[in-house]
Amino acid sequence: MTYRTEYDETAGSKPVRAPQSKKKRGWKIFLRDILLIFLAALLISFLIKTFLIRSFYIPSSSMEETLHIDDRIIVNQLEPRFMPIEHGDVVVFKDPGGWLTPQFEAPVNWFVGAIDGFLAFVGLSAPDSNDHLIKRVIGLPGDTVVCCNDFGQITVNGVPLEEPYINLPPDITKATREDFNVTVPEGKLWVMGDNRYNSADSSFHKDDPSGGFVPIDNVVGRALLISWPVDRWTWLDNYPVTFADVGTPAPQ
């Protein structure tokens, strides 16, 4: 139905009130647009979390002083699927078998659980952080990694590493507690924590059936930066100078 302004020749023009149905239709369109924007934002967030980046928090002290307990980090999931892993990268990976001890999960309020589940869906929370580990890549497939030389340094392919990122106890100069001499198999990594004497890393698990190696397929991605707390915001370096002379291992 079409409405228009009517005129009275004696009283002048008199506007007719807008129809109620038109107002209702305007609100419905507005609410529909808001809903579509919200759903699009959810979809985009889900796709970003699934294929590009996602958030994790740090549950242990094994990477101190680089990463502290409860730090939030942003992880690039394009590595290793579309980008090669490099020496020095800090990577998040799934338990290769027996590295994590089973943990009791206390029941949570249904409302808190629903909120956490929603945040996990869009990539703003990481309730599965305790099911993952984070370490620094020291050896790539084909590398020979040895601890330690006469100066207490780890060597990779015979090249001693100057490691500015490691955290050692006072008066300790040896790069890690455990001695080892390994060649990294194809499709595997040798990883170590920066807090070397308090990290259950590859050297700690060297006598396991896995030999302490982490399958590349278990890697979720590379940690790019600390996103929280704000005063610790920083990009995570992979220290290319430290590994500059190591070279690329020959294919096996």
210: domain CATH number is 2.10.109.10
Whether residue 118 lies inside any domain: the answer is yes
Query: Quick one: 17 and 109 in the same domain?
Result: no
Confidence of residue 115 (pLDDT cuts 50, 70, 90): low
Whether residue 249 lies inside any domain: the answer is no
- In the chain, the percentage of residues whose pLDDT exceeds 70 is 70
pLDDT in tens, 26-43: 777 767 767 777 666 655
CA–CA gap between residue 187 and residue 217 (Å, rounded): 8
Catalytic pick among 62, 125, 202, 203: 62
Query: Quick one: 29 and 148 in the same domain?
Result: no
Whether residue 171 lies inside any domain: the answer is yes
For residue 102, CA distances in Å to 81, 99, 115, 171, 209 come to 29, 10, 25, 34, 19
Average pLDDT value for residue range 144-172: 96
Catalytic pick among 135, 199, 202, 203: 135
Query: Quick one: 42 and 81 in the same domain?
Result: no
pLDDT of residue 127: 53
pLDDT in tens, 198-225: 999 999 999 999 999 999 999 999 999 9
Which H/E stretch holds residue 48?
helix 20-51
Total domains present in the chain: 2
- In the chain, the percentage of residues whose pLDDT exceeds 90 is 56
Catalytic residue at 94? Answer: no
Catalytic residue at 206? Answer: no
Whether residue 252 lies inside any domain: the answer is no
Residue ranges of E strands in the chain: 6-8, 12-14, 53-57, 72-76, 90-94, 132-139, 144-147, 154-156, 159-160, 180-183, 188-192, 214-215, 219-228, 234-235
Q: What range defines the domain where residue 159 resides? A: 55-235
